[in-house]
Structure formats: structure tokens, C-alpha cells
Amino acid sequence: MHNKTVSYFEECLRLGEWLSEADRRALYRYLLESNKINYGVQANLLLKDSTLSKKIANGEILYSLKDNVVSYSARKNGSSAFEENVRQVKLHDFSRLQIKKLNKFFAQTEVEVIWNYPLEGRNFQEEGSYCIHSYPYFDLRYFSNGRGRIVGLVNKLKIDDTDLRKKLKAS
């Protein structure tokens, strides 16, 4: 019998609500770095068509763009009902900044979908409401619990997730 080793990234896709906060932050940074080209292509498609659909883990994401505001809805694969407009962000007027912001938004939404709709694994997943943080990882207020961007920047600089990201990159 062949024993397949599961990569850390594949393990993250199965852990869902069992991912620690540090794991989710590292996963966000990993997705942002490793999908830079794909996210750029997807961002251009979204800007051109005003909608984009994609899948990750056991979830589907539907992005929509209206009046320079992008939002996403998500659902578990096989479900007919979407969690509507889970998160939204206003885009800049400059194309290059729009792409950069959309890349961060895509990584954030993918982490949230993995967190809420993981692949089947050995850990029991609660059925319940869709979980997100008030502030996304790309907002410095996330790192300060809403106490301001300067405090957030200081706290962000103190975080060292190098080992977790190396583990993900080795996947």
C-alpha cells in the first residue's frame, strides 16, 4: 500500500475552523505570494467583467464589482444558498493600485473560505454561521484590534511567521 504524505498546504485545506490564528495569517501571506500572477489575471478579469467565480477547498467564491466596490459571496460546494456580500472593499482609481488591493482581497477571501468550508478531513467541523474577522489581514487595524493603524503597524512588525510560511512553501 502506498502512503501519500500530505503537504502542509493540503492539511490547511482540511483543517478549517481548527486552523490557528497564526496559521490563517501565514496562509494569507503564502496565498498572496504564491498566487501573485494568478491573482493579477483574476483581478483583470473581474475589472473587465464585473464578476468572477472561483473555488477553493470545499467552497465557492463569487466576486462582484459595482461602483468601484468589490464584494464577495461564498457558499459550500453543493449548496444553493450563498452567504451574501460577506466582505467588501473600495478600490482605488488607479489601475495598478486596484490590482494590488484585489490581490490582497483574493487572498483574504480564500483564507476565509478555507476556514469556513474546508475539505473533508479527520477533524469534525461545526455547521454554523460564516466566520470572518472584522478587519482583514491587509488592514493594519486587524493587528491592533481596531485601536488604530499605528498600533497595528507596530504589532504587525512584531509577528514572525517565517517558519509557518516556509512550511507552506515546502508543500
Q: Which domain holds residue 64?
A: 8-131
Q: Is residue 168 part of a domain?
A: no
Domain count, the chain: 1
Mean pLDDT of 17-35: 94
Q: Is residue 107 part of a domain?
A: yes
Q: Is residue 140 part of a domain?
A: no
Nearest to 137 by CA among 82, 66, 87, 92: 87
Q: Is residue 61 part of a domain?
A: yes
Handedness of CA 54, 56, 61, 63 (dihedral sign): negative
Q: What is the pLDDT of residues 61-120, one digit of tens each?
A: 999 999 999 999 999 999 999 999 999 999 988 888 899 999 999 999 999 999 999 998
Separation of first and last alpha carbons in the chain: 22
What was the pLDDT predicted at 9?
92
Q: Rounded to two decimals, what is the model's pTM?
A: 0.90
Q: Is residue 100 part of a domain?
A: yes
